[in-house]
Structure 1
Amino acid sequence: MEVNKSFRVSAEANMHNAALRIIQSKGYKIFLYPSESDAFYGHYWAIQEHRDFIAEDPLQLLGIITIWETNGDNWNGTDRRNLRDTIASRAFPDSVAAIENLSDEDFKEQVDDYRLFLNRIFPKEILPENPTRQDFFDVISNFYKWDLENFYEWENID
């Protein structure tokens, strides 16, 4: 595997066979419990010894198996932090005041984290070098609404 080469993958149907092969290689028997509805394919089951894992698609199935393999029967783990809400509150700050309430260290970390993320989405840097908290809020609150194809159209004006 080349580590210096860029790579991106997303959860799509063309990943299902890879997920199923991994699950099977771990020794699970895989079944599809068909749905009575034409709108829904059914649930995938992975069975091994006294453990049953059930999901709507192979990627979810691999995910819950991995969670169980990591945490065991205490699948929820011992770390009780609510990362989902933390990540969501970073993505959807209520106001610039939420950004202003961050310590300087937390603000710098958030800017660095989002710079990494935004540089994967946009072909050019969109965060100013040293953004104010208002600048940062404006970008975070709006970047997902921007038309990526026409975002840099202004550069083509003579």
Structure 2
Amino acid sequence: MTITEAMNTYNPALAILKDKGYVIKIILNEDKEEIFRWNALKDENDIYAFNPLSLLALCTIAEQYGDNWKNYCEPDLYDELLESAE
């Protein structure tokens, strides 16, 4: 299987969030013409993102690491992958 970030992956991401018990909201811009942000609410978690895939990723981080998500930094996989990029 090959899957790429695109709008056709938004609905599955939103379905996963709904199945996990999140309340999902869309925040529109001031003109109410475009989506400004996506919001997922559950328990004490109030999570914002610019698209449903990022929202799913941030909710997963919150679930995995909780309030200490900022303190998780070992190993630094981002730098490791950047150094080994081809």
Counterpart for residue 74 of structure 1? 68
- Gaps in structure 2 of 5+ consecutive residues: none
Q: Percent identity among equivalent residues?
A: 31
Q: TM-score, normalised by structure 2?
A: 0.87
Matched residue SS, 2:68: coil
Moved over 2 A (4+): 36-41, 76-81
Question: Following TM superposition, by how much is the alpha carbon of 1:39 offset from its aligned partner in structure 2, in angstroms?
Answer: 9.0
Q: Which residue of 1 aligns with 2:48?
A: 54
Q: Distance between the aligned counterparts of 1:84 and 1:11, measured in 2?
A: 19
TM-score by length of 1: 0.49
Match of 2:81 in 1: 87
Q: Deviations over 1:111-154 (max 9, x none)?
A: xxxxxxxxxxxxxxxxxxxxxxxxxxxxx3xxxxxxxxxxxxxx
Q: Which structure has more RCO (C-alpha within 8 Å, separation ≥ 6)? A: 2
- 1:20 and 2:10 correspond: no
Letter in 1 for 2:48: I
Gaps of 5+ in 1: 1-6, 92-139, 141-158
